[in-house]
Chain A
Amino acid sequence: DTEVTQTPKHLVMGMTNKKSLKCEQHMGHRAMYWYKQKAKKPPELMFVYSYEKLSINESVPSRFSPECPNSSLLNLHLHALQPEDSALYLCASSQDLQGAPGSPLHFGNGTRLTVT
């Protein structure tokens, strides 16, 4: 079983709703990530946090807002999403940033989001 916990597992929301995805890890990892995965596609990087600071934003629309309250938690706040935003949202963590040897990503099970 994965050591990265994501909640909720499934989420259905309307285009005017505000919701949040949550991710938690207790492995002492210093880097945390949000990925988006469409069906039969590879994960696409959205955000990277390193030492609780936003390190990378892959030109993600502002309707997605990440937050890292502490080193173990990562949130993704959602507002005014579009149906095409429906996807599996994956959280991951690693000991160090990906450029460092010995730091593979550990993924959560994901939140399957449907926007109606």
Chain B
Amino acid sequence: AQSVSQHNHHVILSEAASLELGCNYSYGGTVNLFWYVQYPGQHLQLLLKYFSGDPLVKGIKGFEAEFIKSKFSFNLRKPSVQWSDTAEYFCAVTSRGNEKLTFGTGTRLTIIP
């Protein structure tokens, strides 16, 4: 069975700091990987996704993530965060042919102006 771990439960950064949120998954086969963001009071939105090809994927709002197969990781990065990035971030995985999307426990990001 597939699973996702997000070890950072709550991250607090100042504006303009660099961000890296960890995501590790456990599944030996081909995976599809996602990062979703949930701003306060809003719906879950897709930040970026990886299906195949270039392991460095770029998403909306300046976010990017790198798929490292040997480490089973898909960490989210942003070089300079803004106050508006304050939100809950969820990593998620599904495997080819598996209808179920598995979410990590989420990381709450607080940006201090």
Contact = CB atoms under 8 A, between A and B. Distances in A.
A40 B9 CA distance: 10
A104 B99 contact: no
Interface string A89-102: 01010000111111
Contacts of A70: none
Looking at A105, A106, A110, the one whose CB has the most chain B CB atoms below 10 A away is A105
Contacts of A104: 34, 46, 49
For the side of the interface on A, what is the size category? 20 to 34
B46 A105 contact: yes
Interface of B: 32, 34, 36, 42-46, 49, 51-52, 88, 90, 94-101, 103-106, 108
Nearest to B49: A104
A72 interface: no
A34 interface: no
30 contacts: A4-B43, A31-B99, A40-B106, A40-B108, A42-B103, A42-B105, A43-B44, A43-B90, A43-B103, A48-B99, A48-B100, A50-B99, A55-B99, A56-B100, A90-B44, A98-B98, A98-B101, A99-B32, A99-B94, A99-B95, A99-B96, A99-B99, A101-B32, A104-B34, A104-B46, A105-B44, A105-B101, A107-B36, A107-B45, A110-B43
